[in-house]
Structure 1
């Protein structure tokens, strides 16, 4: 499994608030906005990202980080084989990503995601 990037997910009350801090102060650009999650990235460095999450649209729990991998199906199979708790099953989401959530040994929920194409 190859990791493309790791993005911290900041759990916030309102993902639509505070954008000026990330855009005007930090100089990040908005990469996407689904209402409940907004992603920002550094211009010229798409691996430097942060997301604001105010309640995941399809998962029962929010994740603390997103790990973008080259083969999410293989990562899912490996997590199951190693006996890690799957919090959200492997799913192709309506917004185009394929992902699952797994709990780490400390209780943190990790969003493991693949971007097709």
Structure 2
């Protein structure tokens, strides 16, 4: 699997309540998207970013990181072949991504994702 980007997914109780800390204090002032349950904030100068997540809209748990890849189908097949636990099946989501969740050996849930072009 080719990893293009890794983004931390920080679970918060309320995105709007947490937003000020991350935008004002940490300088992640660009809101790349906000779906109400997940939002990404980026520093426009450095590109540093973070996703705030309250809960996941379609999966049973929220991930700790999102890993962007150019071939999510191949990544899914590799995870299955290696016997890793699939927490959320390979799904094309209505908001424009294809993804699945896999549990790492320490129990962390990873969102493996590709954006539709």
TM-score normalised over the length of structure 2: 0.93
**Which residue of the partner structure matches residue 41 of structure 2?**
40
Q: Deviations over 1:25-58 (max 9, x none)?
A: 2221111100011111121444x22111111000
Secondary structure of 2:84's counterpart equals coil
In the alignment, is the contact (CA less than 8 A) between 2:11 and 2:54 conserved in 1? Answer: yes
In the alignment, is the contact (CA less than 8 A) between 2:12 and 2:18 conserved in 1? Answer: no
**Which residue of the partner structure matches residue 3 of structure 1?**
3
Q: Distance in 2 between matches of 1:76 and 1:43?
A: 32
Q: Distance in 2 between matches of 1:93 and 1:83?
A: 24
In the alignment, is the contact (CA less than 8 A) between 2:86 and 2:101 conserved in 1? Answer: yes
- Gapped regions of structure 2 (runs ≥ 5): none
**Which residue of the partner structure matches residue 88 of structure 1?**
88
Root-mean-square deviation (CA), in Å? 1.1
**Which residue of the partner structure matches residue 97 of structure 2?**
97
Counterpart check, 1:50 vs 2:50 = yes
- Gapped regions of structure 1 (runs ≥ 5): none
Q: Distance in 2 between matches of 1:96 and 1:105?
A: 29
TM-score normalised over the length of structure 1: 0.93
